[in-house]
Amino acid sequence: MTYNIEMSRRETREVTIGNLKVGSGHPIRVQSMTCTETADARATIEQIERLAEAGCEIVRVTVNHDRAADALPDIRANCPIPLVADIHFTHRMALRAIEAGVDKVRLNPGNIGSLDRVREVVKEAQQAGIAMRIGVNSGSVEKDLLEKYGWPSPDAMVESALRHCATVEEMGFHNLVVSLKSTDTRTVIDANRKFAGESDIPLHLGVTEAGRPGYGSTKSAAGLAPLLFDGIGDTIRVSLTSDPVLEIPVAFDILKATGARVTSPELISCPTCGRIEIDLEKLMNDLDEKLEGENAPVKIAVLGCVVNGPGEASEADIGIAGGGGKGILYRNGEQVRIVPEADMVDALYEEVQAWKAEQAGSESVGA
């Protein structure tokens, strides 16, 4: 049985951000934002390098004053991934960021001032050939919409986004991404579902200000998973109160758990219970270490007892049902062999390599 990594995606237009393409025909991209003082170019570049090494594909920096804007050319010259300027309140910072060569400008028209200022930024972005993100947060919805709906509801957020998109697109600018974020997961889900039904603009997903790593990761998963299962979302960010590098594996785990994008093995194992007959925790630790850096999108199940083990192990791409110092090894639902507990990790690794060769053979035949 083959691990299903194909999901039905909402159809969107294609957007270019630096050297990346975003939209329904492309992988869901993982991004983050630096927490350094942007004016400190060296510290910001070092953090971007760590983010990129962790797998971050798009990075955003705040451009909140002239000293930050002054640092942008140096940051851009040393940034290995597409660079986004985060702009609030002062449209002049957006103009300076575009001049510095950023790949995208994130703009919240609700707090940038007059429409003339928005149009000025759009004009410069169009001439520079870069992308824009219209970011609507529940905390900055326009006053007239708050009066209309009574609170920053999903309807208010979507109307705000569509209003701003219309302004931009009337100028002939279409290299556009939208985000609708809130600290409330239900609002995030409802707003993005509603917008997805009314536009073909790609969506950047996130639960804003999700919190510390433990709860923030859980809250982000709760808000993003329903949308990803619906095929909604073209880029994502997990917002944690921590080193932003920690956001990257959480984002990829959410994509993996939903099947929206799988870039590494998925390891499935039993909870600890009195029926376990092998040292499962050590086995999983050793297997995780053995597979570090492996990019095969393979599902591996390691079960530690004879009750559910054989059935669940055979349902994965590769599985082992252990007990009594040995384990039955399965690949694609078929029993392969029986191995002693001491050899399980190496046996599973060998099967991963065999599975990869099998997949490569199938792809070459199909081609």
Average pLDDT in the chain: 91
d(CA 134, CA 203): 10
Q: Which residues contact 168 (CB under 8 A, 6 or more apart)?
A: 118, 122, 132, 134, 176
Check residue 1 and give its pLDDT.
Answer: 35
- Whether residue 365 contacts residue 357, with contact meaning beta carbons closer than 8 Å, is answered with no
HSE of 23, CA atoms in CB hemisphere, 13 A:
17
**pLDDT tens by residue, 162-195:** 999 999 999 999 999 999 999 999 999 999 999 9
Fold of 15-258: TIM Barrel (3.20.20)
Say whether pLDDT at 309 is over 70. no
The two three-digit tokens of residue 42, written as one number: 């060296």
DSSP state for residue 167 in the 8-state scheme: H
- Check for a shared fold between 15-258 and 266-366: no
Quote the Cα angle for 55-61-65, to 5°: 170
Q: What Rg value do the Cα atoms of the chain yield, rounded?
A: 23
Contact yes or no for 185/223 (Cβ under 8 A): yes
The pLDDT tens digits of the residues spanning 112-143 come to 767 888 889 999 999 999 999 999 998 888 89
CATH fold group of domain 266-366: Sulfite Reductase Hemoprotein; domain 1 (3.30.413)
Mean pLDDT is lowest, of 102-106, 113-117, 247-251, for 113-117
- Which long-range contacts link 338-345 to residues 24+ away (Cβ below 8 Å)? 341/278, 341/279, 341/283, 344/278, 344/283, 344/287, 344/302, 344/320, 345/283, 345/286, 345/287, 345/290
Q: List b or e across 153-184, with b for residues whose CB sees 16 or more CB atoms inside 10 angstroms.
A: bbebbbbbbbbbbebbeeeebbbbbbbbbbbb
Q: Please choose, from the candidates 68, 58, 64, the residue with its C-alpha nearest in 3D space to the C-alpha of residue 32.
A: 58
Q: How far apart are CA 318 and CA 34, in angstroms?
A: 38
Q: What is the pLDDT of residue 7?
A: 60
Taking each helix axis as running N to C, give the angle between helix 91-100 and helix 115-128, from 0 to 180 degrees, rounded to the nearest 10: 0
Q: What tens digit of pLDDT does each residue of 192-209 get?
A: 999 999 999 999 999 998
Q: What is the mean pLDDT of residues 14-37?
A: 97
Query: Taking the alpha carbons of 65, 70, 74, 76 in that order, is the dihedral positive or negative?
Result: positive
Closest to 3 in 3D by CA, of 367, 315, 334? 315
How would you classify the pairing of strands 15-17 and 131-137? unpaired
Q: Are 75 and 38 in contact (CB under 8 A)?
A: yes
Residue pair 82/17 in contact by the 8 Å Cβ criterion? yes
Model confidence at 306: pLDDT above 70: no
pLDDT tens digits, 273-302 = 767 778 888 889 999 999 998 888 999 999
Q: What is the DSSP letter of 234?
A: S
Q: Which residues pair with 323 in a beta bridge?
A: 326
Alpha helix locations (H) across the chain?
41-54, 66-77, 91-100, 115-128, 143-149, 154-169, 185-196, 213-229, 247-258, 280-290, 309-315, 344-366
Measured CA to CA, the distance from residue 243 to residue 15 in angstroms comes to: 29
What are the boundaries of each domain within the chain? 15-258, 266-366
- Of 1 and 310, the structure prediction assigns the larger pLDDT to 310
Closest residue by Cα to residue 221 from 264, 195, 196, 256: 256
Does the pLDDT of residue 2 top 50, yes or no? Answer: no
Separation CA 220–CA 239 (nearest Å): 8
**In sequence order, what are the residues at sequence separation of 6 or more whose Cβ sits closer than 8 angstroms to the Cβ of residue 303?**
269, 270, 309, 310, 312, 313, 319, 320, 321, 322
